[in-house]
Amino acid sequence: MLSYERVMATVSHEQPDRPPLQYMATTEVTDSLRSYLNASSEEKLLNKLGVDFRSITSRVNKTQPVPPDIEDQHGGRGELEATYYGVVLLKAENFPQAHRVFGPFYQTEDLDTFDWPAVSDIQTEEELRPKIAGFNEQGYCTLVTCDNPFKIAYFMRPYEEFLIDCLTRPDYAIELMRRIATIESARALNGVKAGARSVLMSGDFAHQRALMISPDAFRKVLKPILAEFVSLLKSLNPKVLAFIHSDGDLSTVLEDLIECGFDAVHPIQPESMDMMDVKRRYGDRLTLFGGVSVQSELPRSKPEEIRSLVRQRIQLLGENGGFILAPSNTILSDAPPESIAAMYQEAQAT
């Protein structure tokens, strides 16, 4: 099977020749793995690992300043960077997301005071098309990424205050997320217009034991935004695959995510949910995307243990398709390259 055929069979709950594979890792890990496997480029590494997806990021060409008082307060601790949403991040070694130290609505609640990025700032479909077309021609499942408005909202606002907003001022929380969703939806839609075959919306809205907000609050403030996002994608291309990522325990809203129209949920985190229970309850309507923990399995297991785990997960979760094998999040440098390689080698051989 070609990679895209493999992914489509899996999401259609048909048995593929093997589970589709996805790869997520820091640059440091990728460089180490390239050296270990003697791969001269990242693309050749992905080929050796049997990765079926090729990810494309739709850039937003909008720069924001780091406020002088934030520079004075945090600049001595490391490199500061402002995102196009005005969120100031303090970069840290081996921490891909960095630490957020400021957002545009930390000191004001007025949404109109911020210089918002515009849809015209987003990389156009014409700019994205050549790269996407090249990967499509090679048979890969092209994947365009965007961010969950919920996550960006609690970056732009102080985290605790935004969660309180969701409960006490839902209209304000919804308006903030809708403004973000305008940009993130456009990022995804430009990718789909350029030919991307799948979309991954990323951003945590759960902790390891529960949602960040109650299921009722989720259904009031976030679910309509997610449902509208998927509807826009599917109206543009009914065959495009919609994936959503959030760490943590999503068990109380998996049915809601299915109702929103998502084809797969990543990562069904092993520390937070019983993957077999999810497979039994939702496996005919939802694809499980993940399966190997970067928290408790990849860093702590020897290659043969990882091989055994991969065989087990494929046997239990891959019956009648519906399972994409991937790390549960970005692989960090505490995972030995030999264990990472074993994960992908075993998956290709199974």
Q: What is the DSSP letter of 85?
A: T
71 and 88 in a single domain? The answer is yes
pLDDT tens string 41-89: 999 999 999 999 999 999 999 999 999 999 999 988 889 999 999 999 9
Q: What is the dihedral of CA 97, 102, 103, 104, to 10 degrees?
A: -150
| pLDDT band at 241; cut points 50, 70, 90 | very high
Which of the four pLDDT bands, split at 50, 70 and 90, describes residue 199? very high
pLDDT class for 163, splitting at 50, 70, 90?
very high
Ramachandran bin of 338, using left for φ above 0, alpha for ψ from -120 to 50, beta for the remaining angles: alpha
User: Are 288 and 345 found together in one domain?
Assistant: yes
Same domain, residue pair 160 and 276? yes
Residue 212 scores a pLDDT above 70: yes
219 and 323 share a domain? yes
CA distance 48 to 30: 13
Query: Given 71, 98, 116, which residue is the final one in a domain?
Result: 116
Tally of domains in the chain: 2
Nearest to 58 by CA among 34, 79, 84: 84
95, 185, 192, 253, 278 from 273: Cα distances, Å: 24, 29, 31, 12, 8
Answer yes or no: do 10 and 37 share one domain: yes
Residues 100 and 194 in one domain: no
Same domain membership, residue 287 and residue 148: yes
Beta carbons of 267 and 328 less than 8 angstroms apart = yes
**Residue 103 lies in domain:** 63-116
Query: What ranges in the chain are assigned the alpha helix state H?
Result: 3-11, 27-37, 42-49, 68-74, 125-137, 149-156, 159-168, 170-193, 215-217, 223-236, 254-260, 275-282, 303-317, 337-349
Q: Is 38 buried (19+), middle (13-18) or exposed (0-12) by CB count in 10 A? A: exposed
Query: Model pTM?
Result: 0.97
pLDDT higher than threshold 80 for residue 93 = no
- CB atoms closer than 10 angstroms to residue 153: 29
Question: Both 332 and 344 in a single domain?
Answer: yes
Question: Which of 83-92, 93-102, 152-161, 202-211 has the weakest average pLDDT?
Answer: 93-102
Q: 282-302 pLDDT, tens per residue?
A: 999 999 999 999 999 999 999
- Torsional class of 86: left (φ above 0), alpha (ψ -120 to 50), beta (otherwise): left
Nearest alpha carbon to residue 279 among 233, 312, 237, 239? 312
pLDDT for 276 equals 96
pLDDT value for 57: 95
Is residue 185 domain-shared with residue 324, that is, in the same domain? yes
| Final residue before a domain boundary, out of 81, 100, 116 | 116
Query: Shortest CA distance to 88 belongs to which of 73, 67, 107, 108?
Result: 67
Residues 6+ apart with CB under 8 A from 78: 90, 91, 92
* 210 touches 276 (CB < 8 A): no
- Write down the pLDDT at residue 94: 67
Assign residue 43 the CATH number of its domain: 3.20.20.210
* Average of per-residue pLDDT values in the chain: 97
Same domain, 52 and 67: no
| Residues 94 and 228 grouped into a single domain | no
Answer yes or no: is pLDDT of 95 > 80: no
Q: Does 273 score more than 90 pLDDT?
A: yes
Looking from the CA of 136 toward its CB, the CA atoms found within 13 Å total 16
Average pLDDT over residues 148-160: 98
Q: What is the pLDDT of residue 350?
A: 83
Could you give the percent of the chain with pLDDT greater than 70?
A: 100
